[in-house]
């Protein structure tokens, strides 16, 4: 297994729209394992392939307290969303240290393949629902800061670029 480097906002590669996974083969299963290990090591509750510079529709998530219930969603498709929406505090491993409110559907139903290639339907509420919507946005090349005001987004961009310049020194 391997830890994968996570792209940081405003890296232009985060705006790439992912392509469907053609086949759940050994390469994809290895990517699922590496992404799960990377998510746990970074102390995240989710990770999209886009964030590790792989532009295929694959997400890993674990919102369990014990961090022992990893979910793999390959080619996820939103098949239902609740009419109710809610403002939730979100963070992102690609925008370290920034947390802000984003409005999301309260509940979603998603169809996706698991790591064995089997098609499953997931009914999600609460943090799982928020995390699925956040990760599916990554696959569309959308980072959560896009939902914030241009003023906030520009401040975050400036802060991230400064932190990246200082880290390179």
Catalytic residues: 135
Options 28, 57, 71, 92; binder of Zn ion; rule CB under 5 A: 92
Residue 102 carries which DSSP code?
Answer: E
Strands 58-61 and 46-48: antiparallel
Tell me, residue by residue from 101 to 140, as one string, x for binding to ligand K1U by CB under 6 A and - for no binding: -----------------------------xx--xx--x--
Dist. CA 46–CA 90, nearest whole Å: 12
Options 14, 32, 36, 46; binder of ligand K1U; rule CB under 6 A: 46
Dist. CA 70–CA 128, nearest whole Å: 11
Q: CB of residue 120 vs ligand K1U: minimum separation in angstroms?
A: 20
Which of ligand K1U, Zn ion, none does residue 108 bind (CB under 5 to 8 Å by kind)?
none
Tell me, residue by residue from 77 to 106, as one string, x for binding to ligand K1U by CB under 6 A and - for no binding: -------------xxxxx------------
Taking the C-alpha atoms of 43, 47, 51 and 54 in order, what is their torsion angle to the nearest 10 degrees?
130
Dist. CA 162–CA 16, nearest whole Å: 23
Which 3 state secondary structure label does DSSP give 131? helix
Nearer to Zn ion, 92 or 130 (CB): 92
């Amino acid at each position: 297994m391997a830890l994968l480097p996570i792209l940081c906002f405003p890296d232009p590669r985060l705006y790439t729209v992912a392509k469907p996974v053609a086949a759940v083969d050994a390469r994809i299963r290895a990517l699922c394992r590496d992404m799960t290990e990377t998510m746990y090591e970074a102390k995240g509750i989710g990770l999209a392939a886009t964030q590790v510079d792989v532009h295929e529709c694959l997400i890993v998530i674990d919102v369990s307290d014990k961090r022992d219930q990893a979910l793999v969603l390959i080619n996820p498709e939103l098949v239902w969303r609740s009419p109710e929406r809610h403002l939730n505090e979100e963070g992102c491993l690609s925008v370290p240290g920034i947390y802000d409110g984003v409005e999301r559907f309260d509940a979603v139903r998603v169809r996706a393949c698991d790591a064995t290639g089997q098609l499953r339907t997931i009914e999600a509420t609460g943090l799982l629902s928020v995390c699925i919507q956040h990760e599916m946005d990554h696959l569309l090349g959308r980072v959560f800061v896009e939902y914030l005001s241009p003023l906030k987004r520009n401040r975050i961009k400036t802060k991230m670029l400064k932190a990246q310049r200082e880290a390179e020194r």
